[in-house]
Amino acid sequence: MYTRTQRHITLDGAQAIIAAALADGKARGRELSVAVVDAGGHIVAIARSDGAEIQTVQIAERKARTSAFTGVPSGPKSKAGNVGSDHHLLAITLAGGVENVVTVQGGVPIIVDGECIGGVGVSGAAHADGEIAAAGVTAAFGA
């Protein structure tokens, strides 16, 4: 067979992730942006809290796209768990395109039944971005 069935994140699912992530950020006293993309890296939904800085929108989008493309959380670690050198991380970013890939934490894949159906990116809460993104996915889809 030359086709397969693929799951897709819905707008309702994306909005549920965003609502949970924004609530988590608010509980931490952080203003942030949250982006949800599908498996192809296309925006499904994006939101910026009132006090979040404008650059957090693009950063969140790139973190989400990175996780959707790789199927692992964004950051300096590879799928094998190895931390890349600065040179290696820069090469990954340049090869993937600076509009698509970042090597900082804050993006998580959306995995449903073992399949990556998209990614979530959070920006504005510094080192808690990844935790907040993961909390959004867990709230919408469970553990």
Place of tokens 């959707």: 68
pLDDT category of residue 4 using cuts at 50, 70 and 90: confident
Separation of alpha carbons 33 and 58, rounded Å:
9
Domain ranges for the chain: 11-141
pLDDT at residue 102, as a whole number? 80
- pLDDT above 70 for 93: no
- pLDDT-derived band of residue 85, with 50, 70 and 90 as boundaries? low
> Per residue in 22-73, pLDDT tens?
999 999 999 999 999 999 999 999 999 999 999 999 999 999 999 998 888 8
pLDDT at 8: 94
| Beta-sheet strand order (sheet of 33-38) | 43-48, 33-38, 115-123, 107-112
CATH of region 11-141? 3.30.450.150
Q: Residues of the chain with pLDDT > 70: what percent?
A: 83
Contact 120, 71 (CB under 8 A): no
Task: Quote the pLDDT of residue 79.
Answer: 54
How crowded is the C-beta side of 31, counted as CA atoms within 13 Å?
A: 9
